[in-house]
Amino acid sequence: MITKLFTLFLFWVNVFSINIKDLNLPPEHFVYLFNSFPDIAESCSKDRNCPYKSFLDRKACWGYETDCNPKNSYHVRPRCPGDHRGWVKSKQAQYETFYTQADFGYVKEQIDELMVMCEASIPDDSSLECSKYLRFCRGRNLLLNFTGLLGRGNNLRYKMDILGPGQIGGHCNFYSDRLMKEAEHMSALQSWAPEFVNFIKTPERPIKDGKCDIVIEKPTYIMKLDATVNMYHHFCDFFNLYASLHVNSTHPTTFSKDNHILIWETFTYESAFKDAFKAFTVNPIWDLKSFRGKVACFKNVVFPLLPRMIFGLYYNTPVVSFQHSCLLQTAAELFIK
């Protein structure tokens, strides 16, 4: 427990840097934010100009929080008479399975699965934790060496060798056996295994000891995209990025748009659906050309849930048996709410 709490502490930034007006949330979502972060609620309460006072002093939670009472959660219970037999043992299990597969229960599952892979001893150390099968990872003070991209051209997409052995790492207590055990989903868009199997413990602290050509101060989301020319496939990316914000929600700045997004390919990002990224960042979208030939260090970096995970979200989503019409009704209710 102490290790877990210390690791989470290293992912936090100072509360004084938060301006509630900079948080990118629909107004009705502030009730969930206030319940998760009482300090933010108190700040709003004391600020006569806070526009979200109507959402104070109300109980609400997304459903993945450890102290979330189900009656206060965002979850919409399916009202469907579909037959559960052959799928699960009871009607209640049918509801619970649907919640885990296609609701915030999936986020809770990722949070519950988080394992420390690289443990910091002091704040200047590196740290890394990942969910099962390395589907979601987040780290601090990590080094990524992109010198191997020199001479490889601009046709790098869906490649599993962007990083070679030792080209990603940090100074920490590294649990290599634990990480390798979770590297089973070795595929370009299913997990971050192709990258993290190359992780090493560096002899020096990358940022403090000056081992970086460039240091990225702002939180950075590194993304491997599905087909950006197709709305369905590209929204696999946006859907999972939004879910990853919740998996990573140890601090309210999770919902700030002052961050960076780095696309894990050398193609310049372009898509008819590119405006969807404006919901996540106010900064230009990067690609790997920005870092070719450089050793880059990231103070806060997130490797989000990927678009083609096995039994993932949106793509490859298994859904326990419901009558089709009722499933559509439930999906519509979730969307409207």
Mean pLDDT of 308-319: 88
Mean pLDDT of 79-97: 74
For the chain, give the longest Cα–Cα distance: 62
Residues 214-240 have pLDDT tens digits of 999 999 999 999 999 999 999 999 999
What is the per-residue pLDDT for 2? 40
* Structure token digits, residue 223: 């993304």
Q: What does pLDDT average to over the chain?
A: 88
What is the per-residue pLDDT for 81? 64
Mean pLDDT of 14-24: 63
What is the per-residue pLDDT for 324? 47
Task: Band the pLDDT of 155: cuts 50, 70, 90.
Answer: confident
Question: How far apart are the C-alpha atoms of 300 and 51, rounded to whole Å?
Answer: 30
Q: Where are the beta strands (DSSP E) in the chain?
A: 115-119, 127-130, 137-145, 168-170, 173-174, 199-201, 214-216, 220-223, 260-263, 286-287, 295-303
Mean pLDDT of 275-286: 96
Question: How far apart are the C-alpha atoms of 181 and 238, rounded to whole Å?
Answer: 28
What is the per-residue pLDDT for 169? 98
Phi first, then psi, for residue 172 (nearest 5°) are -170, 175
Mean pLDDT of 4-11: 41
By the 8 A CB rule, do 20 and 33 touch?
Answer: no
Q: Strand 220-223 vs strand 295-303: parallel, antiparallel, or unpaired?
A: parallel
Contacts of 321 (CB under 8 A, 6+ apart): 82, 83, 84, 86, 87, 94
Which residue from 148, 180, 184, 151 is spatially nearest to 166, judged by alpha carbons?
Answer: 148
Residues 181-201 have pLDDT tens digits of 999 999 999 999 999 999 999
Q: Which residue has the higher pLDDT, 319 or 275?
A: 275
